[in-house]
Amino acid sequence: MSDGTFLLSLSGQIDYISILAGAGSSWHCKYEFVAGPDWKIVGGLEAGLSQTANVVSNGEDIVLNLPIDIVYKSTNLHGWPQIVLSVYSGINLQGYGRSHIPLQPGLHKLNISLSKPQPSSFLGYLGTFFGYQPELLQPKMLASTAGNNLIQMMSSGEVYVTINNVFQGLNILGYDIGRVN
């Protein structure tokens, strides 16, 4: 790429959610990509929603097998893409997770920890007895380094994601990403 841009192509899937899941619950997962201002999507979807996966026996992993395919173009490594996941059981939020897309080419198995916000007021605390679960208005805020100081969160569960990524034109621009493990 002679115009100072490089390409990042990633493809993979959200394999499964590993969380305390009771029999009879049904789960879904939303993913969205967040990247810096210089990053443009050349192909693929920025966000997606999985199918509803039902849990038959207690404690089993919730397989989603949701494909992810996206191609980015950028001039600057700053604002490297991140994936933000929101996991729901029925309509109740069970956790948010985020992770950077791996910065090295090849196959990567990520396990992304989930955490859910805790109520910050007494009323909110009372609400938890009635099944109320606080949610973030914009889960994308988790991907910003600006900080989310006052949010209290409780971590629970993990999402397993497989990602293959390929770069094009990084070395020509003088970048050295190091030895690939």
Partner 1 sequence: MAEIHIIGQILSGKGFPKQNLFCKWSFQYGNNWKVISGRKEGQTQVESSEFDDNCKWCFPIDIHFATRGIQGWPKIYIQVYHLDWLGRSQLFGYGFLTIPTSPGNYVLDCFTWRPFGSLRERFIQFFMGGGPQLKYPDLVFSASDRYKLNTETMGIVTFEINVILRNFQKFGVEYM
Partners of 82 in beta bridges: 34, 100
CA–chain centroid gap for 83, Å, is 3
CB closer to partner 1, 55 vs 114: 114
Minimum CB distance to partner 1 smaller for 92 or for 104: 104
147 sits near partner 1 (criterion: CB under 8 A): yes
Q: Please report whether residue 71 would count as binding partner 1 according to CB under 8 A.
A: no
Nearest to 7 by CA among 61, 92, 108, 77: 77
Looking at residue 83, the DSSP 8-state letter turns out to be: E
Burial 76-90 (b: 16+ CB within 10 A, else e): ebeebbbbbbbbbbe
If binding is defined by CB under 8 A, does position 85 make contact with partner 1?
A: no
What gap in Å lies between CA 116 and CA 128, rounded to an integer? 13
Number of residues forming the site for partner 1 (CB under 8 A): 41
Stretch that binds partner 1, among 50-58, 76-84, 121-129, 159-167 (CB under 8 A): 76-84
Report which residue type is found at 147.
G
CB 44 within 8 A of CB 7: no
Under rule CB under 8 A, residue 36 binds partner 1: yes
* Rounded CA separation 113/29 (Å): 14
> Which of the ranges 6-14, 54-62, 123-131, 147-155 carries the binding residues for partner 1, by CB under 8 A?
147-155
Give yes or no for residue 121 binding partner 1 (CB under 8 A): no
β-bridge partners, 74: 6
- Could you say which of 98, 139, 161, 165 contacts partner 1 (CB under 8 A)? 98
- Closest approach, Cβ 149 to partner 1, in A, equals 5
Under the binding rule (CB under 8 A), the answer on residue 125 touching partner 1 is: no
**Shortest Cβ 148–partner 1 spacing (Å):** 5
> For binding to partner 1 (CB under 8 A), which residues are involved?
36, 76-80, 82, 97-100, 102-104, 112-113, 115, 118, 142-156, 173-179, 181
